Structure 1
Amino acid sequence: MADLAAELSLLLEKFNATQLVLAGSATLFLALIIGRLLFNSLPSKRPPVYEGIPYIGGLLKFAQGPWKLLHDGYAKFGDVFTVPVAHKRVTFLIGPDVSPHFFKAADDEMSQSEVYDFNVPTFGRGVVFDVEQKVRTEQFRMFTEALTKNRLKAYVPQFVKEAEEYFAKWGNSGTIDFKDEFSKLVTLTAARTLLGREVREQLFEQVADLLHGLDEGMVPLSVFFPYLPIPVHKKRDRCRKELSEIFAKVIRNRRESGHREEDVLQQFIDARYQNVNGGRALTEEEITGLLIAVLFAGQHTSSITTSWTGIFMAANKEKAFQPAVEEQKAIVAKYGTDLSFEALSDMEVLHRNITEALRMHPPLLLVMRYARKPFSVTTRDGKSYVIPKGDVVAASPNFSHMLPHVFKNPEKYDPDRFAPPREEQNKPYSFIGFGAGRHACIGQNFAYLQIKSIWSVLLRNFEFELLDPVPGADFESMVIGPKACRVKFTRRKLL
């Protein structure tokens, strides 16, 4: 009995100690919550904090979806607000009034590397976000040189060839989904102009499957934990290794044979560093990484913008589709039936239709930077804030493009808003569909030519009718495209 009493006494002491620990922990947690609430409500030069429940509120808001977070945060605080997420602070800058520093600051002030380094396993080591800024600048220069006017002229016939061959396989009528069709076609055009003739003609299916594996390995969790050993990441790494082996052979064969092609791959093979790395040529691994980076930057965005352009033109026959058809007739009368660089560059109506589709539905919901230095912003209503060093700073093309003080009747598809004398895009940082400032998309001319080539072939050969209402955007995807929408096509006589 004495032993039992002793054991009970010991258990009681442990129970009381546990109670004290739990009570102390609860008190400490409550104090932290109260402290956080008081801190967030104190007057400050920093932006207002949109968190709700301390420590977990930001995570919960992101879990509900970025669009809802942007909508609710803007409604409550306006142009600038901060959302704590785990150990980071994300500050949103909404609209052109607070965006200039975000877009025009140098990399030593607003950096991409810290927020986009989750791409390193996909792109590979030694390129883009895995190198210091001066090396990345040289690599971007190499891609810019692959997109000069003369280079773009050489790519146009390849765009047209792929489009004509693809649509020749369609019947006289049928039902399609633009998003599915253009995803396939843009992959073909990208394979020919970016990855090379050898890949397009001999290795396309194999390379397309491997690229799909890379694509599947880019999930929301990858942004925070890119090296987590989950199945999609393991598959991503296998696909990346196999792609490296394939491109190494193609590159080696071209270098050894001296054979040349008109594509971006050839530009990278010929390129040399100028101010870094001793002026050497790119390695096979660097070329592979840059090709993958370029493909990821442009493939989904181009196919999605091509899809939205078709959806809105088909839904706005008198305002958009028919004027684009009439423009094609005028272009044929002026340049003949061949689609040349000059003919495509002269298509102002189609250009505005594409731009308006991109305004309404930019493929990237958020673009981000890391604040290496503090900076100040002033909102549209005159409030000034200091964004501290260490914040992740985000702008949203989608949300900013829907502000009525930036674009009149923003939810209405109206391509003429970009025509003289309106030119609503002319206020700095109002239209950011291709980014802006120092990091504006260097491939935008390539993208316009690609999309114009595809739609010129379609406008000259088909009529379209939406069988479903204009779809909403799929905000669940990493790149924001349209939800499913059935479209009826009917082949008609060539113009």
Structure 2
Amino acid sequence: MDIKSPSLFIVIGVLSTPALPIVLNVVWQLFGWKSRTLPPVVFHWIPFLGSAISYGTDPIRFLLRCREKYGDVFTFILFGRRMTVALGPKGNNFVTGGKVTQVSAEEAYAHLTTPVFGEGVVFDVPNEILMEQKKFVKCGLTIDHLRSYVGMIVDEVTNFLDTDPAFKHYQIGDMNSWGSFHVMKRLAEITILTAARTLQGKEVRGNMDKTFAQVYNDLDGGFTPMNLFFPNIPSAANRKRDRAQKTMSDFYVNIIRKRAEGKEHERDMISALMEQQYKSGKGLGEREVAHLMITLLMAGQHTSSSTAAWAFLRIAANPDVLDALYREQVENFGTGREGEFEPLTYESLRNLPVLDAVIRETLRMHPPIHSIIRKVTSDLPVPLTLAAPSGEEGLTYVVPKGHFVMSSPAATQMDPRTWKDSSVFDPNRWLDSKGVAAQALKTYADEHGEKVDYGFGAVSKGTESPYQPFGAGRHRCIGEQFAYLQIGTILATFVRKLDLRLETNFPENNYHTMITLPKDPCNISYRRRN
């Protein structure tokens, strides 16, 4: 070849620039050797980064688009990790119903949760210990506890409406003009106050001041998607997180020690946890109790506040749904006196089909967590019913040890192959006893089917349902019933008192946070009901 050939200079230029890794990555994907037992890999330009931008911007759109090209099982690169996605109900079962000898939630999440929740709890312990800890928490979520929580939540919401500056139009009894509130900010405050009053106890609720709020915000600052992938970055946010974790841990330990000295206290979650023992006979240590309380405060507040905010946005954008909710309140609790209702109770909340349908439809379209991840701890075959044979008859995919598997309840719940008009908010789909929604709920709840005890009491697996708003299998959320109670009570109390309207276009999803939140602007207008 002529040394002066332009093509030679092009080759030399490419080989000597930062573009070389990209070129080699593309060439390998197009022409390199491919194992027949590995799922297809989503094409990507930049090594290590992979599909992080597309997935992080809109994971549901990304996953459903990849399914069209690669099928229900495929792998994509996410910050150097190989994520094998399994979509649909069978994909949900493959990941959330996986055996602990093959997949691990602890190895997928411990580096994210332990610095925030604290050592010795949740994913910082072996799975069998976590299952016992979940059983301990359930002792504070009995029916009797739930019954007592309804009045507490109503009192907190009513007091918030009576005192918060955003609701001054309500406070002065103005029924003609409209006020406005930022739904995410206000619902975040309301859910943490109601959770503190019910699950956390009077001491915690009594300390909900600006100092506590700052500690909480600093701790929350370490609970981000970046911490999931880069947990050890020496950032200011992580240093604040670590200081806040110690401060909050000490705060709970101080309460526990005072109670141990015989100080009077009410029956609450702290007292329930202080009484528990592992199968070995060892009781929960004060730090374990403290860190479980932090877990309840952090995890519950995030999921409930986001779901409540989305529910408010949906009913504000659909006046007919809001009217149906109000009529249901009048028909069931109206007293005949203007503006007054009979008190809400645990039993009455369970018999409000419109309210239940609104919450379930909100969770279908806006589940708090869009993707569930497990780390593969031993080579994991993909069932033939999920993945088509990858070449030879009887040969299917195998996900190697060290890779990750991922399911997406959010993608399944928005899948047009399962749900008619999947992008339309339609609570009525849950009122059709023979419809897809009712069958999905039946599979998820499986109230009359076979139960499984993973170590925290018998529960339905729910792993093959196309509706999994609280996860499924051994890691199914134990706060599910409390969440319905909390969100339902908040929603019903607001609906009784306020008319609501959405100020702007319906907000888009913000996928850059651990929990899927609405983007700004997300203000709601309100006026006092007459």
TM-score scaled by length of structure 1: 0.87
In 2, Cα distance between equivalents of 1:34 and 1:262 = 65
Task: Quote the offset at 1:158 in angstroms.
Answer: 1.4
Contact 2:22 2:47 in 1 (8 A): no
- Which residue of structure 2 aligns with residue 322 of structure 1? 323
Contact 2:52 2:79 in 1 (8 A): no
- Which residue of structure 1 aligns with residue 357 of structure 2? 352
- Which residue of structure 2 aligns with residue 240 of structure 1? 245
Secondary structure at 1:89's aligned position in 2? Answer: strand
1:67-466 paired onto structure 2 within 5 Å: 67=59, 69-117=62-110, 118-169=112-163, 170=167, 171-172=169-170, 173-273=178-278, 275-276=279-280, 279-318=281-320, 320-332=321-333, 337-373=342-378, 374-378=380-384, 382=388, 384-419=396-431, 420-427=433-440, 428-466=464-502
- Which residue of structure 2 aligns with residue 5 of structure 1? none
Contact 2:196 2:205 in 1 (8 A): yes
**CA offsets 1:298-356 (integer angstroms, 9 cap, x no match):** 111111111111111122222x2122111112221599611111111111210110110
Contact 1:175 1:488 in 2 (8 A): yes
Q: Which has more radius of gyration? A: 1
Contact 1:344 1:453 in 2 (8 A): yes
- Which residue of structure 2 aligns with residue 492 of structure 1? 529
Q: 1:37 to 1:244 in 2, by over 3 A?
A: same
Q: 1:147 to 1:30 in 2, by over 3 A?
A: same
Task: Quote the offset at 1:435 in angstroms.
Answer: 1.1
Kindly, what percent of the aligned residue pairs are identical? 32
Contact 1:179 1:304 in 2 (8 A): yes
Structure 2's unaligned 5+ residue stretches are 1-11, 171-177, 390-395, 441-463
Q: Compute the RMSD of aligned alpha carbons.
A: 2.7
In 2, Cα distance between equivalents of 1:217 and 1:414 = 36
More helix by share: 1
Q: Which letter maps to 2:487?
A: I
In 1, Cα distance between equivalents of 2:148 and 2:269 = 11
- Mean alpha-carbon deviation: is it higher for 374-383 or for 308-317? 374-383
Contact 1:174 1:490 in 2 (8 A): yes
- Mean alpha-carbon deviation: is it higher for 164-173 or for 345-354? 164-173
* Runs of at least 4 residues off by over 4 Å: 25-37, 59-64, 333-336, 378-384
- Which residue of structure 2 aligns with residue 8 of structure 1? none
Q: Which letter maps to 1:58?
A: G
TM-score scaled by length of structure 2: 0.82
Task: Quote the offset at 1:111 in angstroms.
Answer: 1.3
Q: 1:339 to 1:372 in 2, by over 3 A?
A: same
In 1, Cα distance between equivalents of 2:52 and 2:357 = 39
Contact 1:302 1:451 in 2 (8 A): yes
Q: Which letter maps to 2:155?
A: K
Contact 2:86 2:94 in 1 (8 A): no
Contact 2:86 2:92 in 1 (8 A): yes
Q: 1:375 to 1:461 in 2, by over 3 A?
A: same
In 2, Cα distance between equivalents of 1:333 and 1:462 = 15
**CA offsets 1:453-490 (integer angstroms, 9 cap, x no match):** 11111111111111212111112222111122221111
Task: Quote the offset at 1:388 in angstroms.
Answer: 2.9
Contact 2:317 2:501 in 1 (8 A): yes
- Which residue of structure 1 aligns with residue 451 of structure 2? none
